[in-house]
Structures are given as C-alpha cells and as structure tokens.
Amino acid sequence: MLDIRIIRENAELVKANMKKKLREDMHLVDDVLKLDEEWRKIKHENDQLRSERNKVSEAINKAKKEGKDAKALLAKAKEIPQKLHALDEQKNTLSEKIDTLLRQIPNIIADNVPLGKDDSENVEVERFGEPKKPDFDMKPHQEIAEALGCADFESSARISGNGFYFLEGDLALLNQALLRFALDYMLKQGFTYVETPLMMRGDIIKNVVDLNDQENQIYKIEQDDLYLIGTSEHSLIGRFVNQAVEEKDLPITQTSYSMCFRKEKGSHGLDEKGLFRTHQFNKIEMIVICKPEESNDWYKKMQTYTIEIFKQLELPIRVLQICSGDLGELKYDQIDIEAWSPRRNEYIEVGSCSNLTDAQALMLKIRVKGKDGTYFPHTLNNTAIATSRAMVAILENYQNKDGSITIPNVLKQYMGGKDIIKPK
C-alpha cells in the first residue's frame, strides 16, 4: 500500500511503476486523486466548521457575561454538531473508498528489478555449488521416502487429501534436525526467537498480505473471523499493529519456527504427492523492522543468511532476481533461493527474501517515534528454511544407489551422530 502523499505529489511515477508491472488499470491513480480532492474539500469544510463552533462558543460566553440575548447564537451552536456529523460521515465514506483503491495499487519497485511478464523472465544472479550428476537412475523423493519406510502419503491423502504427509523415524528426525540447525544459525546472527499464534483475525491478515495471496493462499476458518497463517512473518509483523515503536529499539530482528498453511492452488503432476508443494509445512522465518535508510543493507544481509544455510548443507543453489511481473503487489524487491533437483534436472524454489519498504507498516499503522517526529518503518522477511522443500533437495542430492540417504555433515550432530538413513 502506498502513502497517498506519493500519489498526490507524483502520480505519473506511480502510473509508470504500474506499467512496469504490466498493469492496465492506471485509472486507479486518477480515481484516488479525484476522491482525495473531494476528501480534502470536505475536511476543509469540517475544519472551518469546528473553528466556527469555537468562535460561537466564545461569543455565547461573552454574551452571557454581558447580559445580552444569546438565543440566536445558541440556535446556531445547536445546528453545528449535526453538520459536523454529516461531514464526518462523508469523510469516513471517502476514506474507506480511498483505502480500497490504494490497496489495489502496487508498491513502488526497486530500480534494479528486471522487467518481465512472469516467473519465466526472472533473472539468475549467481550460483553456489555444482549440480550433481548421479551415475544411476534417480528415484523421485516421494518414492525413496516411502521405500525408506519414513513417509506415508497414502494415509495422509485418506484423512486430509493431497498436499499432506506423515513423516516418521529418521525422516521425521531429519525434519527436526533441519529446524534446530537453522534456528541455531539464526540465533548466532543475533535474532530473537519468538513463537507466534498460528491464527490471525481478518483485519490483521488483510494488512500483512496482498489481496491475491489472501484470496488464493490463505485458509479461512469458517464461521470465525480467523485465518491460518501462511508463514510466521504474518504474525511477527502483525504483532505491531497500531503500535508506536521507539526509534532506539530499531532494528527489530526476530526469527520464528511455525507450522505454515497454504492453499497452494494449481499444484499438479509431481507436486500432487510428496513434500514439495504441500498445504502444511514447517518453516524457520526471519523478519526485520528497521529505519528506511537501513532496509537495503538488511535486505542484502538477510539473503546471505539463507545462502549460508544451504551452503552448509552442501546443496547446489542459485539466486533469482524476481522480475516486475512476478513481484507481489506489496514488494519493493525480492530474490528467490532455488536448490538443484537432480530428478527434475532443474532448480526448485526453497525460499525467498523480500523488502516491502513501508507498505506493510502503512496498512498496519506501525509508527516509529523518532527525534524528528514519527515515520513508518520498513519491513523485510526471509525464509531461513522451509524443511519440506529442503528435504526434497536432500533426498535427491544425497541419494545413494542402494536407496539410502547420506545425512549432510552439518546435521549429524542433530541426528545423534547417525551418518545415513537406510530402508527399514
């Protein structure tokens, strides 16, 4: 969500930004300006009327002190509250309309964001590690997980439908090892660990995700004004709704483990069964709330955390710069981290890092009390690790010819020193 002052002062910049994102509804900017002009006119009338009310009150007091007749003044004073109420209602109605339109206008994107229509035009920035080329026929992760006796996708489909799973034995322990490893890493970076609610009210969720994600990704709990979180970022940032943060407390750096829930519409083929695209998964997330001038530095720093986690797991990865057409409406800039899949012979997404500048803070009304007044902070989020997708990469890249899985060195300490996962 944009600050309306940006639209007032530079409407053409906002339209040019929408054009970069291949939006054809630039009329939204003119619609906002028209409503805003009407809103400011009514506000001016409202302010004048309030000033007049004060003057009439003073005149009534003066007339009474001087023993003069104040009937006409009292009658005028009686009319003013009704007029103010009518103006307030008009102003509130216009504010709601403006807010609805502002939510449809995307955040200004960074100058370095490549122009493109969709994810096919995202740009590779760099690679780490060499993709492995096995000398035997690779099994898909679903098949090898079942052969190990550590995953059950049939039972989960019976009780929950596709997109869920049972993990047991060593694979369940590997999931926990990944969580503990990533959490330990984030704590070493100085982040504070927080455990959050897994449900949020509708008025909060609509202010931490864009309209597209709310409709297509977030689960609504029927008959309750509650939604399941798609990531702990939602509750970590939502926690500060309507709060004024002291500037001395910035940056706020937090990390969290949570189960996450997403509809994941459109999954098919390999994704219908397995661990890659699921409705429920485990994730270590990180968020930063900081001064605007610090957000670019934090954006670069947060990326390095995820890269380092996967480098320590010794998994080949690449970094993608997300293009304008694939960038979420609240985002200023985003990169995705992808791990190599020998089975698919391509890279698969395992995490993303986003800078939202002040878009979330504006919607949630998170303010910072600084020495020169109040301002809106910048918010950033990044996946430290989503364990289900990391396990897909491990099951493929660490797969052996006999069907066993070698445990990455960095995880052995979390697996009781075990070196390998063998079939039961």
What's the CATH number where 54 sits?
A: 1.10.287.40
pLDDT surpassing 90 at residue 271: no
CA 95 to chain centre: 25
Which residues have CB under 8 Å from 400's CB, separation 6+? 406, 420
| Calculated CA dihedral for residues 216, 221, 225, 231, nearest 10 degrees | -60
Residue 326: what pLDDT? 96
Q: Clarify whether residues 87 and 218 are in a common domain.
A: no
User: Domain for residue 355, yes or no?
Assistant: yes
Q: Clarify whether residues 32 and 79 are in a common domain.
A: yes
Residue 258 near residue 283, CB atoms below 8 Å:
yes
pLDDT surpassing 70 at residue 100: yes
Q: Clarify whether residues 62 and 176 are in a common domain.
A: no
Which residues have CB under 8 Å from 285's CB, separation 6+? 231, 232, 233, 236, 255, 256, 258, 381, 382, 383, 384
Which segment of 65-69, 402-406, 414-418 scores lowest on mean pLDDT? 65-69
User: Domain for residue 225, yes or no?
Assistant: yes
Q: Clarify whether residues 363 and 235 are in a common domain.
A: yes
In the chain, the percentage of residues whose pLDDT exceeds 90 is 82
Q: Clarify whether residues 337 and 368 are in a common domain.
A: yes
Averaged over 410-424, what is the pLDDT? 93
pLDDT surpassing 50 at residue 270: no
* pLDDT digits 0-9 by tens, 331-340: 999 999 999 9
User: Domain for residue 108, yes or no?
Assistant: no
Is the model's pTM score more than 0.85?
yes
Q: Clarify whether residues 13 and 133 are in a common domain.
A: no
Is residue 67 helix, strand or coil?
A: coil
User: Domain for residue 89, yes or no?
Assistant: yes
Q: Clarify whether residues 19 and 98 are in a common domain.
A: yes
In the chain, the percentage of residues whose pLDDT exceeds 70 is 98
pLDDT surpassing 70 at residue 250: yes
Distances (CA, A) of 60 to 49, 82, 84: 16, 19, 19
What does the block give as tokens for 73? 């003044």
* pLDDT digits 0-9 by tens, 5-59: 999 999 999 999 999 999 999 999 999 999 999 999 999 999 999 998 888 888 8
Q: Which residue has the higher pLDDT, 269 or 108?
A: 108
User: Domain for residue 107, yes or no?
Assistant: no
Residue 313 near residue 343, CB atoms below 8 Å:
no
Q: How confident is the model at residue 265 (pLDDT cuts 50, 70, 90)?
A: low
> Cα–Cα distance between 120 and 117 in angstroms, integer?
8
Out of 102, 136, 170, a domain closes at 102
Domain assignment of residue 90, given as a range: 4-102
Whole-number average pLDDT of the chain: 93
Out of 49, 69, 102, a domain closes at 102
Is residue 323 helix, strand or coil?
A: coil
Averaged over 217-227, what is the pLDDT? 92
Q: Clarify whether residues 204 and 133 are in a common domain.
A: yes
Averaged over 95-115, what is the pLDDT? 96
Q: Clarify whether residues 154 and 34 are in a common domain.
A: no
Q: Clarify whether residues 191 and 276 are in a common domain.
A: yes
User: Domain for residue 67, yes or no?
Assistant: yes
Q: Clarify whether residues 60 and 128 are in a common domain.
A: no
> Cα–Cα distance between 90 and 273 in angstroms, integer?
53
* pLDDT digits 0-9 by tens, 119-147: 999 999 999 999 988 888 888 999 999 99
Residue 213: what pLDDT? 83
User: Domain for residue 299, yes or no?
Assistant: yes
User: Domain for residue 147, yes or no?
Assistant: yes
- Stated as kind and residue range, the H or E segment containing 141 is helix 141-147
Q: Clarify whether residues 22 and 92 are in a common domain.
A: yes
CATH, residue 386: 3.30.930.10
* pLDDT digits 0-9 by tens, 273-288: 899 989 999 999 999 9
Out of 38, 73, 102, a domain closes at 102
User: Domain tally for the chain?
Assistant: 2
Q: How confident is the model at residue 272 (pLDDT cuts 50, 70, 90)?
A: low
Is residue 20 helix, strand or coil?
A: helix
Helices (H) and strands (E) in the chain, counts: 13, 18
